[in-house]
A and B are shown apart, each in its own frame.
Chain A
Amino acid sequence: MDVSEQLETQKSKYKSIAVEKPIPLQYDLALLAGFDTNALDESRLKNDTDNYLKEYTRDGTQLIINQIFKLPITSSDLGIMAELPEQTTVIPREKPLPKPKPPTRWERFAKAKGIQHRKKSKMTFDEATGEWVPRWGYKGTNDDSTNDWLIPVPQNDDPFEDQFSKRHEAKKERIVKNEARHRRNIEDAEAELNQSKGIDARSLRKAELQRQIAMSKTATASIGKFDKPLEGEPKLKGVKRKFEPSIGDVKKEKELSLNILKKIVGKKGDIVNVRKAIAKRDQ
Chain B
Amino acid sequence: MRPLTEDETKVFFEKLSKYIGRNIVHLIDRSDETYYFRLHHDKVYYMSEALMRQAISIGRDQLVSLGVCFGKFTKSKKFKLHITALDYLAQYAKYKIWIKPNGENTFLYGNHILKAHLGRITDDTPEHQGVVIYSMSDIPLGFGVTARSTVETRKLQPTDIVAFHQADIGEYLREQDTLF
Contact = CB atoms under 8 A, between A and B. Distances in A.
A123 B121 CA distance: 80
With most chain A CB atoms within 10 A of its CB, the pick from B2, B22, B34 is B22
Contact of B22 (A247, A254, A261): A261
B34 A250 contact: yes
B25 A264 contact: no
A270 B1 contact: no
Given A250-B34, A260-B13, A265 B2 contact: no
Nearest to B10: A260
Given A244-B2, A246-B2, A257 B21 contact: no
Interface string B25-54: 100110000101110000000000100110
B156 interface: no
A258 B28 contact: yes
B61 interface: no
Interface string B138-171: 0000000000000000000000000000000000
B129 to A, nearest CB: 11
A202 interface: no
Contacts of A246: 1-3, 38, 52, 56
A261 B13 CA distance: 7
Contacts of A245: 3
A106 interface: no
Contact of A244 (B3, B13, B14, B49): B3
A209 B16 CA distance: 47
With most chain A CB atoms within 10 A of its CB, the pick from B1, B36, B56 is B36
Nearest to B30: A254
A38 interface: no
Nearest to A244: B3
A263 B52 CA distance: 27
Interface of B: 1-3, 5-6, 9-10, 13-14, 17, 21-22, 24-25, 28-29, 34, 36-38, 49, 52-53, 56, 123-124
26 contacts: A243-B2, A243-B3, A244-B2, A245-B3, A246-B2, A246-B56, A248-B3, A253-B3, A253-B36, A256-B6, A257-B9, A257-B28, A257-B37, A258-B29, A260-B6, A260-B10, A261-B13, A261-B24, A261-B25, A261-B28, A264-B13, A264-B17, A265-B17, A270-B21, A270-B22, A275-B124
